[in-house]
Amino acid sequence: MATLGLERELAVYLAHVTVERGLSANTVSAYHRDLSRYCAFLESRGIESLASTPALVVAEFAEAISAGTDSGAPLAPASAARTVVSVRGWHRFAVAEGWVGDDAAVDVKPRATPARLPKALTTDEVAALLDVAAVGDGPAALRDRALLEVLYGSGARISEATGLDVDDIDLGEGRESVLLRGKGRKERIVPLGGYAREALDAYLVRARPTLAMNGNGTPALFLNSRGGRLSRQSGWTILKAAAERAGIGDVSPHTLRHSFATHLLRGGADIRVVQELLGHASVTTTQIYTYVTRDALREVYQTSHPRALDKPMPRPE
C-alpha cells in the first residue's frame, strides 16, 4: 500500500471532492479546515500518514475537538459532528484508493446533536406583527403588508414568496390560493385566508401599478421601488422592521413559516396535510413541529392539572 504522507493525502482528497464530487467552494473550504485540524492532531502524536493511524487516535480526536484539548477551541456539537463526518469521509476514500487496508474511522460516530426546535410566535404576536407590517398607506406599505400576510398565511419560504408572479395567485371567490415553487422547483398550491386575500387585493389594485411604472414590465408579484422583483434580502428587511415596531425581537421569515405549521397543528390539522402545505418531501421533516405543540400542551397541563403540581394536593380533613 502506498504511503503519501498526510499533506499529500489531504491534497489528493480535496482535489477529489472538488473535481469528481463537484462540491462547492464553501464546502471544500470546510473540509480543508476540519481535516487540517485533524492532521495537526495526528502529527502531534507522531503519525505521518493515514496508514499508520489507529482507530483509538481517531476516537481521541473526536473527543478532543469537543473538549478543546487539541490545538483548537472546543467546537459546538454541530461543528464537532461535521468534523467527524469529514474525517470519516477521508478515511473511506483512503481505503478505496488502497492507501490503507482497514478503515480506522468506521466505528467513530459523530455525537448526536440536540434537536433545535423551531421558534414559533404566539397568535397574539403574529397579529401584532401584521398589524404594524405597513407604515402609512403608500405603495410600499401595502406591499409589505401583503408580503407578510402571504408568508404567514401560506407558510411560504421567503424565496418562494419573492419568486411569485402575478399569475401564481388566484383571488377568485372560493378559489383563493397561491402556487408556490419549492426546492427542486416542486410546485404546490396552498389556500389563502381572508386576511391574505384582502391584503393582496389592496396591493394589486392600489400599489403594484404605481411600483410597476418604474420597471420594465416584470411579471413578478412583489416589486421593489424600481419596479423590479423584490429580493429575498429586502423581504428580510421588511419583516425585521415590522418585528421591531411590534416589539417582538428577532424574527426571520422562517419564524413565520414555523408559526404557520405550529398553529395549524395546534388547531387540529393532520400532520400529513401540514406536510403538503409546507412542501416537505418527507413527513419526518414536518414531525419536528409536533414537539413544539407537545411542549405547549405539557406547559398547559403542568399549570392546570391538579395532579401535575410538584407537591401533592392537601387531603380534605
Q: Is pLDDT of 150 > 50?
A: yes
- What is the CATH number for 90? 1.10.150
Q: Is pLDDT of 283 > 90?
A: no
Q: Please indicate, yes or no, whether residues 239 and 134 belong to a single structural domain of this protein.
A: yes
Domain range for 22: 6-97
Is 110 part of any domain?
no
Q: What is the pLDDT of residues 216-234, one digit of tens each?
A: 999 999 999 999 999 999 9
Q: Give whichever of 67-81, 88-102, 110-124, 288-302 has the largest mean pLDDT.
A: 88-102
Q: Please indicate, yes or no, whether residues 70 and 161 belong to a single structural domain of this protein.
A: no
Q: d(Cα 124, Cα 78) in Å, to the nearest integer?
A: 33
Report residue 1's pLDDT band, with 50, 70 and 90 as the boundaries.
very low
Q: Higher model confidence: residue 274 or residue 3?
A: 274
Q: Please indicate, yes or no, whether residues 155 and 265 belong to a single structural domain of this protein.
A: yes
Is 311 part of any domain?
no
Is 257 part of any domain?
yes
Is 310 part of any domain?
no
Active-site positions read: 157, 183, 254, 257, 280, 289
- Residue 168's pLDDT is 97
Q: Please indicate, yes or no, whether residues 227 and 85 belong to a single structural domain of this protein.
A: no
Is 65 part of any domain?
yes
- What is the CATH number for 277? 1.10.443.10
- Please state the length of the chain: 317
SS3 category, 170 = strand
Backbone angles phi, psi at 134, to 5 degrees: -110, 135
Q: Please indicate, yes or no, whether residues 207 and 245 belong to a single structural domain of this protein.
A: yes
Average the pLDDT over each of 93-97, 109-113, 185-189 and give the range with the smallest value.
109-113
**190 with 156: CB under 8 angstroms?**
yes
Is 176 part of any domain?
yes
Is 113 part of any domain?
no
Q: Please indicate, yes or no, whether residues 72 and 128 belong to a single structural domain of this protein.
A: no
Backbone angles phi, psi at 165, to 5 degrees: -105, 165
Q: Please indicate, yes or no, whether residues 161 and 281 belong to a single structural domain of this protein.
A: yes
**138 with 124: CB under 8 angstroms?**
no
| Mean pLDDT score of the chain | 88
**50 with 97: CB under 8 angstroms?**
no
Report residue 114's pLDDT band, with 50, 70 and 90 as the boundaries.
low
How many structural domains compose the chain? 2
Tell me which residue of 251, 156, 291, 104 sits closest to 146, measured CA to CA. 156
Q: Please indicate, yes or no, whether residues 33 and 144 belong to a single structural domain of this protein.
A: no
- Extract the C-alpha cell encoding 215: 420597471
Q: Please indicate, yes or no, whether residues 76 and 158 belong to a single structural domain of this protein.
A: no
Q: Please indicate, yes or no, whether residues 167 and 51 belong to a single structural domain of this protein.
A: no
Domain finish residue from 97, 113, 148: 97
* pLDDT over 70 percentage in the chain: 88
**Helix H or strand E encompassing 171:** none
Q: d(Cα 298, Cα 120) in Å, to the nearest integer?
A: 16
**289 with 258: CB under 8 angstroms?**
yes
Report residue 26's pLDDT band, with 50, 70 and 90 as the boundaries.
confident
Region of 249 (left: φ > 0; alpha: ψ -120 to 50; beta: rest) is: left
Its pTM stands at 0.61
Q: Please indicate, yes or no, whether residues 152 and 293 belong to a single structural domain of this protein.
A: yes
Is 81 part of any domain?
yes
Q: Please indicate, yes or no, whether residues 73 and 155 belong to a single structural domain of this protein.
A: no
